[in-house]
Amino acid sequence: MRRARRSHLGALALTVLAAVAVGCGVGGDEGGTGARAINWYAFNEPGGSYDMAVQNCNEQANGRYTINYVKLPNIADQQRELLVRRLAAEDDSIDLASLDVIWTAEFAEAEWILPWEGDRREAATEGKLEGPVETVDYQGKVWAIPHTSNTQLLWYRKDRVDAPPDDFTWDEMIDDAVEKGTAVEVQSAQYEGLVVWINAMITSAGGQIVNEQGDVEVNDTAKTAAEIEKKLATSAAAPPGMSTANEDAGRLGFESGRSDYMVNYPYIYPAAAEVGEDFQKSIGWARYPRSVPDRPSAPPLGGFNIAVSAYSNNPDLAFEAAECLASPENQALSAELGGLPPTSESVYDDPKVRKSYPFADELRESIDNAGPRPVTPAYSDISLAIQKTYHPPESVDPNTVVEQLRDRIEKAVDGKIF
Amino acid sequence: MEAATTKAPAAAPPRKKQRMTDRAKAERKLAWLLCAPAVIAMLIVTGYPIAYAFYLSLQKFDLRFPDEKEFVGFANYGDVLTSSTWWNDVGTTLIITVISVSVELVLGMLIALVMHRAIFGRGPVRATILIPYGIVTVVAAFAWRYAFDPTSGFVFGLPLVPDTWQPLTTKEGSLFVIILAEIWKTTPFMALLLLAGLALVPDELHEAAKVDGASTVQRFFRITLPLMKPAILVALLFRTLDAFRIFDNIFIIQPGGALGTESVSILGYNVLINRVNLGLGSAISILIFICVILIAVLFVKGLGTSTAQQRGET
């Protein structure tokens, strides 16, 4: 009797499993199932500009297609995991995916996304800034349409420190902060943000981690980055909790008044208005600091591009929908409501955008001079290797860092463990 | 009749040299039939994934480079076992396992004694103690992370806690918080298993010992503990197996296993899910599986843990 009941339970368990499996397959509100439904997987833009863009495009499409905005987590690593898992399983419920600028090579190499060819290529890149256009390029083909861009500026307190000169270096900034008894906010937790910082210091010193041919090229500039990182981490200007600091921790620290300098994305500016108008007015901005005195900085480049999935059932409509979502009008919405810098040149002259971005020109200049992160299909492996090598900040050894990084990256590229 | 015995089905080898009656044979057959659905279900949900993971672990297989897929034998295992990363992570995992399980055993025993002896409000006491175990691990982990957050953690506002102490910014501190979260979360489970063991100790023995003049401490160490040994070992086995596979707490408290808090499960996750390297990742999964089996064998063979004893079927 007892055994009989167990086998019933077994059968029941199987039934439940089957039901769950089916449930996962055709999730209720995960996307539309109509023939003309275009499912767009993108991060949950808190300002609501993506929702409005979807609405605009659906109205313009006049029934030819209907975009469903499927919201992904806000953390880039989590978005990537979700997309990679689904695309590797050839999931046809994704038509459009918003890809962080660093994923292009990986997704293109795996043939998870479709190239933009002919007229489409033209449509994707026309009137766009050069930096963002480079991020959709992999081996001579265009793999996505640049949608939003991003870059970091140096933010400082006008009421407490002097305006930084054009050739302001990390060294000078740290020294000044130590002298004034204040902190410098950076992103130095073990995550992609650390890679952004380290890579920016390396490119600002004239180096790169992977060259144009896709080969690993770690040189002394990796040491320069480690020296700056260690100097800050072991100085009095290190912010509390530096080894777990992300963008928001830095923003909160800056808002609390403990620091007079911060490198961060422009979203902190609208956020500062919520602290108080006076506080927002006390914030100044400048170009990203230099790694070496005689070389202009190469600031970080971020942002999102929209790609068409190779497993989409409606690729033609998907291309059309992507073009609409990334149109200058919708970019202006994202800039205004979401604090996401545009990729189209013309949007920078939009009076509304200029009003919410008093630093629009500096932003554009920063994007134009940005130093991209490595373009390679093994990007996520290389990113993990950089994170492990440069973390925790105070224990980095500038004398061995070049060797360590080269070793880890080579293992990463070979698909080995590190 | 002798011939019939030798023809007994291979699936049910005769353990004793006793002849099976027809009825016994029929019952055995029925038993197998009745078990079959459960066995098949087990094979599908556990046997197949393990076999498939083993098959994957013998290949070079990265989802991003499907063209480079090839059979490489045990090369992935060689890669893992010769890397310092793996052994560091095994070390970290063992530190977490040993400390958390030992503390849980002591605390769990104390709580079990309280629950056992509670005279009034037995139900509410037990329910209260079980609350941490009822909370989703990820939610609990977030609560601990925010409690110790360098900018907003409330812990630093408490008396006796130095303001400059920032556990989540160092390896030792992070391990401390992770172990603390683990202990807080699973001590009730330990206590529950131990409570079941306590219930097995007959009161007569205690009374007899009392009459003989044994003190409370003596009775605990001479009567309660020896009789509870099977229950303790089972509780330790379950918790050790669980703790060795620790994932959620680390994943939330130090995302990505930062600051050297990477456990073997986090490593497996990073390789499998983040790097989508199915070959190497599966090798790590199989190695974790082997470690878990080794722990179980150590407990069962080495220390004589037996679930039969626990059920009182010796």
Complex ipTM, two decimals? 0.72
Contacts of B64 (CB under 8 A, 6+ apart): A106, A109, A110, A377, A378, B276
pLDDT tens digit string along A233-288? 999 999 988 988 889 889 999 999 999 999 999 989 988 988 999 999 999 999 99
Reference A260, options A179, A161, A174, A186; nearest CA is A161
Chain B neighbors of A109, CB-CB under 8 A: 64-65
pTM: 0.79
Range with the largest mean pLDDT of A146-150, B159-163, B199-203, B209-213: A146-150
For every residue of B132-173, DSSP letters joined together read HHHS-HHHHHHHHHHHT-TTT-GGGGSTTS-TT--GGGSHHH
The answer for residues whose C-beta is within 8 angstroms of residue A131's C-beta and 6 or more apart is: A149, A301, A367, A368, A370, A372
Q: How far apart are CA B138 and CA A350, in angstroms?
A: 45
| CA trace torsion B116, B118, B120, B123 (10° rounding) | -50
Q: How many CB pairs under 8 A join A and B?
A: 114
Structure-model confidence comparison of residues A5 and B138, the more confident one: B138
H or E stretch at A204: helix A192-204
pLDDT in tens, A383-405: 989 999 999 899 999 999 999 99
List of chain A residues whose C-beta atoms are within 8 Å of the C-beta of residue B151: 240-241, 249, 252-253, 256
Chain B residues in contact with A7 (beta carbon < 8 A) = 34-38
* pLDDT for the residue numbered A34: 55
| B 23-52 residues inside an 8 A Cβ radius of A | 31, 34-42, 44-45
Q: What's the rounded Cα separation, in Å, for the pair B3 and B205?
A: 53
Residues in chain B: 314
Whether A375 shows a pLDDT value over 90: the answer reads no
State the Cα angle at B254 between B251 and B256, rounded to 5°. Answer: 60
Query: What is the Cα–Cα distance from B311 to B314, expressed in whole angstroms?
Result: 8
Confidence band, pLDDT 50/70/90 cuts, at residue A138: very high
Of A200, A223, A95, residue with least CA distance to A151? A200
A10 touches chain B (CB under 8 A): yes
Question: Quick one: angle between helices A170-180 and A221-233, nearest 10?
Answer: 10
- For A169-198, the pLDDT digits (tens) are 999 999 999 999 999 999 999 889 999 999
Q: CB-hemisphere CA count at 13 Å for A266?
A: 32
Rg, Å, chain A Cα set: 23
Q: What is the mean pLDDT of residues B68-79?
A: 90
Beta bridge partners of A149: A303
Q: What is the mean pLDDT of residues B17-41?
A: 87
φ, ψ at A310 (rounded to 5°)? -70, -15
Give the C-alpha separation, B290 to B136, whole Å.
27
Average pLDDT, whole number, for chain A? 89
Confidence of residue A223 (pLDDT cuts 50, 70, 90): very high
The reported pLDDT for the residue numbered B15 is 53
Span A117-146, average pLDDT:
94
Binary contact (A6, B80; C-beta < 8 A): no
Cβ B255–A85 below 8 Å, yes or no?
A: no
* Per-residue model confidence as pLDDT tens digits over B238-259: 999 999 999 999 999 988 788 8
CA distance linking residue A100 with residue B258, whole number of Å: 22
Residue A13 confidence (pLDDT) = 46
